[in-house]
């Protein structure tokens, strides 16, 4: 006797759930809105907003949310074969959709009086760059102008202190050894190998590195190198506390080397692909290095950086207090982009004979006028359409009809001009 004989007579439909189709039927009165006029503060019982359809079994329930004010007929179709029961008509419980109000509160922009009038002539700053080549004969001399011996001495002091705090014994490093360590790191950035240990390996040995420092000593310095005293961190809100003294020294060295009068202010990335920086590690898709630490910088035509601000969220500007870039309350109220430009502009040595350039992330009419009134400095930047402060310019469609080379412009008080 075949043990599976009884199984052959079982219908396959026993193993599958009945398919449920929902067919919405519009109400007779089509003019009834499906948007409720109730406020967000109304507390509705969520169970009343759910239509339960299907069999009487509690496990076989298909919830269907009702979003219409009026009663909508829903027909449940459980027809999987010709011998199934007739369709059953069910009317759902009427419910009301809660009205969402997501209004953004925006500051009222100052509306200026715009007229078609050009700006008065002004003396454009020269773009000559004098590097003073009499004092710089080697790359090391040029490098030490920015990463000075003050930085080396700081690293020596804090690294020895940190090693003592951790092990009870000093690292016993000095200026020469730390200088060699930094040189090795720069060399590794130019000639890249899969692992830093490969520079001392028998097959890939790099004599310029292996002959300067042993692998064991390099590991020690790499383990204990430090830039600030951890015991003094206290309740500091500075997320760059561990390298703050080094950043301050480099920032001062950059500002004292200013040799230009045309500057660009923008954001840049310091590459970092690790996972220990939290949200200090930013992503910017349009940058060559998309992941890393974000810095706001002021650079010259030559590419030299004269001032920078590390970005760390809401504490970025509060930590500038007591420095040359400290911002007043009215300057902070102008927004993040404007605050960045104002802070970096404050370190310009000769603002009256300088020009600052920036893109539409920073630009606003209020910023252009503030820089002119506060620092007597001219600025130039692209401007977004929602930051025109009431300036009515010709539409793109009309401008295209006029042909190549045509433009439109408006100015206010002969101080700020917008050109399209």
pLDDT, average across residues 66-80: 43
pLDDT on residue 21: 58
Q: Mean pLDDT for the chain?
A: 79
* pLDDT tens, residue by residue, 210-227: 999 999 999 999 999 999
* Residue 237 forms part of a structural domain: no
Residue 41 has pLDDT above 70, yes or no: no
Number of domains in the chain: 3
Mean pLDDT check: name the lowest of 46-50, 252-256, 298-302, 356-360. 46-50
Residue 385 has pLDDT above 70, yes or no: yes
Which pLDDT value is given to residue 114? 87
Instruction: Report how far residue 146's alpha carbon sits from residue 149's, in angstroms, rounded to the nearest whole number.
Output: 9
222 and 353 both lie in a single domain: no
Domain final residue, candidates 90, 108, 124: 90
Clarify whether residues 266 and 405 are in a common domain: yes
> What pLDDT is recorded for position 139?
85
Q: Are residues 173 and 53 in the same domain?
A: no
Cα–Cα distances in Å, from 321 out to 91, 325, 411? 66, 8, 35
394 found inside a domain: yes
**Domain contains 127:** no
Predicted confidence (pLDDT) at residue 371 exceeds the cutoff of 90: yes
Is the same domain home to 216 and 266?
Answer: no
- Helix/strand/coil for 135: coil
Lowest mean pLDDT, pick from 10-19, 67-76, 151-160, 372-381? 67-76
Q: Given this model, what pLDDT does residue 180 score?
A: 96
User: Which candidate, 359, 350, 348, 367, places its Cα nearest to that of 307?
Assistant: 348
Distances in Å between the Cα of 166 and the Cα atoms of 161, 226, 245, 276 are: 9, 12, 21, 21
CA angle in degrees (0–180, nearest 5) for 368-373-374: 100
90, 114, 131: which is the final residue of a domain? 90
pLDDT at 64: 41
Q: How far apart are CA 108 and CA 294, in angstroms?
A: 30
CA of 339: how far to CAs of 74, 106, 209, 296, 355, in Å? Answer: 57, 18, 44, 11, 17
Query: Does residue 59 sit in helix, strand or coil?
Result: coil
Instruction: Kindly state whether residues 191 and 275 are assigned to the same domain.
Output: no
Closest CA to 317 of 299, 298, 334: 334
**Are 263 and 406 found together in one domain?**
yes
Residues facing residue 307 across a β-bridge:
298
Least confident of 13-17, 110-114, 328-332: 13-17
Between 54 and 309, name the one with better pLDDT.
309
Q: What's the CA gap between 359 and 387, in Å, rounded? A: 13
Range of the domain at 181: 141-231
List of E strands, 183-300: 262-271, 281-283, 291-300
CA dist 75 and 87 (Å) reads 8
Query: Which among 75, 90, 105 is the end of a domain?
Result: 90
pLDDT in the model for residue 218: 97
Q: Do 303 and 366 share a domain, yes or no? A: yes
pLDDT in tens, 2-13: 555 555 566 666
Q: Which residue has the higher pLDDT, 232 or 18?
A: 232
Tokens of 262: 């045309």
pLDDT at 157 over 50: yes
Q: How far apart are CA 153 and CA 161, in angstroms?
A: 12
Left, alpha or beta for 314 (phi > 0: left; psi -120 to 50: alpha)? Answer: alpha
* Helix extents (H) in 205-243: 207-210, 215-224
Query: According to the model, what pLDDT value does residue 150 have?
Result: 96
Please tell me which of 95-99, 108-112, 232-236, 338-342 the model is most confident about, judged by mean pLDDT. Answer: 338-342
Q: What is the pLDDT of residue 160?
A: 97
- Over residues 399-419, mean pLDDT: 89
Residue 155's pLDDT band (cuts 50, 70, 90): very high
User: Does any domain span residue 125?
Assistant: no
Distance of CA 48 to the CA centre of its chain: 43
Same domain assignment for residues 80 and 145: no
């Amino acid at each position: 006797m075949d043990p599976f004989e009884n199984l052959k007579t079982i219908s396959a439909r026993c193993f599958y759930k009945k398919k449920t189709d929902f067919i919405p039927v519009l109400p007779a009165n089509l003019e009834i809105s499906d948007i409720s006029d109730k406020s967000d503060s109304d507390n509705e019982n969520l169970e009343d907003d759910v239509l339960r359809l299907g069999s009487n079994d509690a496990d076989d329930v298909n919830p269907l949310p009702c979003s219409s004010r009026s009663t909508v007929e829903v027909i449940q179709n459980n027809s999987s074969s010709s011998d199934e029961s007739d369709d059953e008509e069910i009317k759902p419980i009427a419910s009301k959709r809660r009205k969402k109000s997501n209004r953004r509160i925006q500051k009222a922009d100052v509306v200026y009086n715009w007229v078609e009038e050009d700006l008065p002539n002004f003396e454009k700053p020269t773009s000559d760059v004098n590097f003073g080549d009499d004092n710089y004969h080697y790359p090391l001399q040029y490098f030490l102008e920015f990463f000075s011996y003050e930085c080396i001495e700081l690293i020596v002091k804090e690294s020895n202190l940190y090693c003592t705090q951790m092990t009870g014994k000093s690292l016993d490093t000095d200026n020469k050894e730390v200088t060699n360590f930094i040189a090795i790191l720069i060399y590794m950035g130019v000639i890249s190998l899969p692992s830093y240990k490969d520079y001392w390996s028998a097959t890939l040995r790099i004599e310029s590195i292996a002959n300067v420092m042993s692998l064991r000593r390099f590991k020690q310095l790499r383990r204990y190198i430090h830039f600030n005293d951890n015991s003094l961190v206290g309740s500091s809100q500075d997320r760059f506390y561990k390298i703050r003294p080094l950043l301050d020294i480099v920032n001062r060295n950059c500002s004292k080397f200013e040799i230009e009068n045309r500057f660009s202010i923008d954001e840049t990335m310091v590459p970092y692909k690790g996972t220990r920086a939290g949200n200090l590690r930013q992503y910017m898709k349009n940058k060559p290095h998309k992941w890393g630490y974000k810095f706001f910088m002021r650079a010259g035509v030559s590419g030299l950086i004269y001032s920078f601000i590390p970005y760390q969220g809401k504490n970025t500007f509060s930590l500038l207090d007591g420095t040359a870039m400290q911002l007043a309350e009215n300057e902070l109220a102008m927004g993040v982009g404007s605050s960045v430009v104002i802070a970096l502009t404050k370190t310009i040595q000769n603002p009256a004979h300088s020009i600052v350039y920036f893109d539409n992330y920073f630009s606003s009419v209020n910023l252009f006028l503030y820089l002119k009134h506060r620092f007597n400095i001219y600025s130039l930047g692209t401007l977004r359409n929602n930051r025109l402060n009431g300036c009515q310019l010709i539409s793109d469609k009309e401008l295209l009809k006029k042909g190549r080379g045509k433009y439109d412009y408006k100015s206010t008080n002969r101080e700020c001009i917008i050109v399209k």
